[in-house]
Amino acid sequence: MSDGVQQKLRVAILFDNFGPYHIARLAAAAQTVDVIAIEVAARSYEYAWEPAETEAFRRVTLFPAGVSEERSNREMAQAVIAALDGARPQVLAVPGWSDRAGLVALGWARRNKVPAIVMSASNLIDRRRHFVTEFVKRRIVSLFSAGIVGGTLGADYLSALGMPRDRIASGYDVVDNDHFEQGSKAALADPVLRAGLGLPERYFLCSARFVKKKNLPGLIDAYAQYRAGVGASAWSLVVIGDGPLRPELEERISALGLDRHVLLPGFIQYGDLPKYYGLASAFILPSAIEQWGLVVNEAMASGLPVIVSARCGCAPDLIVEGANGFKVDPADRAMLASRMASIATGETAQSMGVESRAIIARWTPQLFADELRRLAEIAYSRPRRRGSVLGTFFVSLWPTVGRAISRR
C-alpha cells in the first residue's frame, strides 16, 4: 500500500440514490479513503430529495434520468459492472444483502477477488424473520469481509448472520450534526420565522414518511389522549412528511376535532428541516418498524428531548431513559400520551435537550468515515476468501433472491 508514503485505499461505495445523508457520509469518507461514489439513479420513488451537487468526492451516476426501479435487470447489471470495471476499486462497500445493484456489485467483487463491506441498517427486531430467508442471508453475508451497521442491534444481527464481531463496526446511521445544530440555533434566533412558517409557540414534532410502519395513526390517537388529559395548556403536534396515508391521517385528525392543533406542512427539503426542529419543543418517532431512525439523530443534534419507539433500531444507543427522553411501546397509546405529558408539563425538557446533544456528539459522518477506513484496511489486508459456495450461487440469482429476502 505504500512506498514510504501512506496511500489511501481506493474504495467504491454504492448507493441507490444520493440524498443529503449519503452526501455527508461520502464527503467525510473521502477524507480517509479514495472514494468512488456510485449512484444508481438520480431520483428516488421513496424520497423527494432535490438533486445535490458536490465536489467532495468522485461521483458516478449510472442512470441520470429516472429511478432504478424503471431499469431492467440486464440494464442494471451492465451499468454496475461497467462502472466497477472502470473504477477498479481495491475494496467495495454496498448497502445490505438484497439490493439489486448491490448483489450485482458483490458478484463482480467475487469474480475479481475484491473484498467487500456490507453496509447494513437491519436489526434483529425490525421485522419477523423466516428460516429460509435467514439461511440465504447467512450464505450471502459469508461473502463479505466486514460490515458497518447502525449500532448495537445491527451488530447483534450481523453477528447472528455469521460476521465475526471484530469485523463489525457501528456508525453507518449518522447525519451532519452541524447542519442541524447550527440551523436550529439560527431558527430560534429569528424573531419572525415562527410566524412566517405558521408554527405554534410550543409543539411536538414528528418527521416521517406517511406509510403504515411509521404508526402515525397511533401517534394521532395518543396525542388526542394527551390533549384530553392536559387541556388547554397542551402543546400542538406538527408532523412533517408526506405519503399515501395522508388522506387517512387528515380524516382521523378531523374526526378527533384536532384540526387546529395538528399541522401537516408536507415534505420539507433538507435545507429547511433545521427550522422545524429548532422551533419545536420535543420530538416523537412512534414507528412500529424502524431499522434505525435518522430523524432521531437530527432531533438530538437540534437539542430536543425525544420520545422514541422501542422498536426503533437507534433506541438502545441513543436514548438514555429519563435523561434525554423516553422509549415507548408503539402499540401502547396511553404510554405515549403519558410521556408526552411528562415532557410538556415537567421542568426537564431543556436539560433533556442538552443531554441529547451530548449523546449524539460522537455519531457523526466522521465516525462513519473512520470506521469505514478501518474496516477497508482489515478487508484489504485480511479478506475472507472462503465465502459460502451457496452464497455465490444465491448472488448469481440476484433478481429473484433480492426480491425475496427484501420482503423478510
97-136: pLDDT as tens digits: 888 899 999 999 999 999 999 999 998 887 777 788 888 8
226-235: pLDDT as tens digits: 999 999 999 9
Mean local confidence (pLDDT), 247-264: 98
Task: Indicate if the pLDDT at residue 398 is higher than 80.
Answer: no
Q: What are phi and psi of 230, to 5 degrees?
A: -95, -35
Task: Indicate if the pLDDT at residue 249 is higher than 70.
Answer: yes
Residues 266 and 366: their CA atoms lie apart, in Å, by 31
Task: Indicate if the pLDDT at residue 31 is higher than 50.
Answer: yes
C-alpha neighbours within 13 Å on the C-beta side of residue 314: 30
279-321: pLDDT as tens digits: 999 999 999 999 999 999 999 999 999 999 999 999 999 999 9
Element (H, E) at 87: helix 73-87
269-288: pLDDT as tens digits: 999 999 999 999 999 999 99
Task: Indicate if the pLDDT at residue 150 is higher than 90.
Answer: yes
pTM of the model as a whole? 0.92
Residues 71 and 188: their CA atoms lie apart, in Å, by 45
Q: Which residues, 6 or more positions from 121, have their beta carbon under 8 angstroms from its beta carbon?
A: 96, 149, 150, 154, 172, 173, 291, 292, 313
Q: What is the pLDDT of residue 2?
A: 43
Mean local confidence (pLDDT), 148-159: 96
pLDDT band at 401 (very low <50, low <70, confident <90, very high): low
Name the CATH topology of 10-174+364-406: Rossmann fold (3.40.50)
> How many residues are listed for the chain in this entry?
408
330-355: pLDDT as tens digits: 999 999 999 999 999 888 999 999 99
Residue intervals of the chain classified under CATH 3.40.50.2000 are 10-174+364-406, 177-360
pLDDT band at 391 (very low <50, low <70, confident <90, very high): low
Q: What is the pLDDT of residue 4?
A: 41
Q: What is the pLDDT of residue 129?
A: 77
Check: CB of residue 29 under 8 Å from CB of residue 13. Answer: yes
Residues 12 and 8: their CA atoms lie apart, in Å, by 12
End-to-end CA distance of the chain: 40
Q: What is the pLDDT of residue 387?
A: 64
Q: What is the pLDDT of residue 184?
A: 98
Task: Indicate if the pLDDT at residue 3 is higher than 50.
Answer: no
Q: Could you tell me the three cell numbers for 156?
A: 447483534
Q: What is the pLDDT of residue 50?
A: 73
Q: What is the pLDDT of residue 395?
A: 65
Q: Which residues, 6 or more positions from 33, have their beta carbon under 8 angstroms from its beta carbon?
A: 8, 9, 10, 11, 91, 369, 372, 373, 376
Name the CATH topology of 177-360: Rossmann fold (3.40.50)
Residues 357 and 28: their CA atoms lie apart, in Å, by 20
Q: What is the pLDDT of residue 397?
A: 63
Give the chain's mean pLDDT: 92
